[in-house]
Chain A
């Protein structure tokens, strides 16, 4: 991944910055230029609450090459308490916690690194609470 491509996503991956539609209030994560609910084009920035719940989940046994050293790992669709949905890994879970409805909090973690001269990509993972 190029440095600019990585850098463009710091506000979301590092700071959970969402865009709130001025017209209808829908919270978009990541931000967009037009609201898919009301077609509004004005937004304010909001730091999204870091808590949410698991809507569905899986354990990836055969990961992409960048994630080979992490396999197997758990992934979930999480609905954030502010409304947006995300897909992310689930970390530090115990037996019985990878379930639909489980409450989670996003934590800042390393996602994958690209080797000796590549970028180390950071972002969020969900941890059961």
Chain B
């Protein structure tokens, strides 16, 4: 396999973007990535998208985006792994370059979520759970993660204040990110006094409904210098794993097995360990998810993730800064784009372009993206060249 580098990134501000369509969101971020890299063509492209069908009544999204990006007849493939679609698209693009099949590959992700009602969006998102044996009985996504929180609190003594600390930190980071959907700062009291969605999760423990897109340009690492305008960021490790579709079938209800497995694969491939990661974007779809993932990636002992975030260990300047972009919570969660948007943030961090939220001297970073209740997980480890 060839070494692969990311040489361009593109992303616009997330939000409820009435004036932008599904194709606009993908194409504008793809154009930004192409310009950022400075390449004059692409050989192939991927589109991470969870549910163009339910959110926009549109499938066949690979060809649609190739057309509106003016890139036909390049091969264009849509990748779907629920909220891990973006991470899975990055893995697919990585493999295509690593294999030698293509040299310059565009990896984008997109979701247009606000053209449907809240009920319809909830329904579309619930399709990432087991429709027959979970959703049939009325459980929602916040409900599933709430049950994860109850199990974690019972086993490890995690508290509602610890959950709230994740949201407070991520909004503080997001307030320094011009691309964030909800850049306002909040307090623990704000979270705890917000409306309860599924006990013990309040509305401010949940990531929002978001329109957004994000894109990356990949090329062989040994061509990065010749092709790119800026420093390349090498993908050192790439891991993906699956788990039972239903949350209830997991042996341990307080661990995300696919995250542990995917991280293990990425660590092994990269030759790096948790102590060498200097900045990390994780999938904080709900506050409890960030706590569990921070343990499952090996940053903290099992059960200590809550105390770590409350103690500031995951803040910028802490032991391992997590979600400097604001995370899904503050930056926004356009589901199919999220895995790609995480890579955009890590590339910017490693290139030293993050301004007020820059992690000083960061050279090695990680992204962790997951779908459903963690039935799909994708982890990437990157280092600036």
Find out whether the CB atom of A62 lies under 8 angstroms from the CB atom of B197.
yes
Q: Is B134 an interface residue (CB 8 A)?
A: yes
In the complex, the chain A residue whose C-beta lies closest to that of B137 is A88
Question: What 0/1 readout, one digit per residue, does chain B (238-261) give for beta carbons within 8 Å of chain A?
Answer: 000000001111000100000000
Give min CB distance, B201 to chain A, whole Å.
8
Segment with Cβ contacts to A, from B29-37, B148-156, B262-270: B148-156
Contacts of B123 in A (CB 8 A): 64-65
Set of chain A residues within 8 Å of B137, measured between Cβ atoms: 75, 87-89, 111, 123
A73 lies within 8 A of chain B by Cβ: yes
Residue of B nearest to A68 (CB): B119
Given A57-B150, A75-B137, answer yes or no on A30-B143 (Cβ-Cβ < 8 Å): no
Is the pair B135, A85 in contact by a Cβ cutoff of 8 Å?
Answer: no
How far is B133's CA from A9's CA once the two chains are assembled, in angstroms? Answer: 10
B139: CB under 8 A from chain A? yes
CB neighbors of A among B126-159 (8 A): 126, 132-140, 142-143, 146-148, 150-151, 154
Instruction: Across the interface, name the chain A residue whose C-beta is closest to B122.
Output: A64
Which residues of the other chain, A, contact B132 by a CB distance below 8 angstroms?
Answer: 9, 30
CA–CA, A60 and B206, complex, Å: 14
The chain B residue sitting closest to A112, CB to CB, is B138
Decide if B198 is an interface residue (CB 8 Å cutoff): yes
User: Which residue in chain B gives the minimum CB-CB distance to A86?
Assistant: B248
Does A22 touch B at the CB level, under 8 Å? no
Chief secondary structure at chain A's binding surface: strand
Q: A70-B138, A112-B138 are in contact. Are A60 and B198 (CB under 8 A)?
A: yes
Decide yes or no whether B116 CB sits under 8 A from chain A. no
Q: Is the CB of B154 within 8 A of A56?
A: yes
Assess the A85–B249 pair: CB atoms within 8 A. Answer: yes
Please name all residues of chain A whose beta carbon is closer than 8 Å to the beta carbon of B253 when the two chains form the complex.
55-56, 77
Task: Verify if A59 is at the interface (C-beta below 8 Å from B).
Answer: yes
Residue B196 is within 8 A (CB to CB) of chain A in the complex: yes
CB of B135 within 8 A of CB of A64, answer yes
**Using an 8 Å CB-CB cutoff, how does the interface string of B198-210 with A read, 1 for contact, 0 for none?**
1111000000000
Contact A56 B147 (CB under 8 A): yes
Check if B136 sits within 8 Å of A61, measured CB to CB: no
When each residue 67-107 of chain B gets 1 if its CB lies under 8 Å from chain A and 0 otherwise, what string results? Answer: 00000000000000000000000000000000000000000
- A47 partner residues in chain B, CB cutoff 8 A: none
Q: A121: CB under 8 A from chain B? A: yes
Question: Which 8 pairs from chain A and chain B are nearest by CB?
Answer: A58-B146, A85-B248, A56-B151, A67-B138, A77-B248, A56-B147, A65-B119, A59-B199
Q: A residues near B, CB below 8 A?
A: 9, 30, 55-67, 70, 73, 75-78, 85-89, 100, 111-112, 121, 123
Chain B residues within CB distance 8 Å of chain A: 119, 122-123, 126, 132-140, 142-143, 146-148, 150-151, 154, 195-201, 246-249, 253
> Can you name 30 A-B pairs with beta carbons within 8 Å?
A9-B132, A55-B253, A56-B147, A56-B148, A56-B253, A57-B147, A58-B147, A58-B199, A59-B196, A60-B138, A61-B195, A61-B196, A61-B198, A62-B140, A63-B138, A64-B122, A65-B122, A66-B138, A67-B138, A70-B138, A75-B147, A76-B147, A77-B247, A77-B248, A87-B139, A87-B247, A87-B248, A88-B137, A100-B150, A100-B151
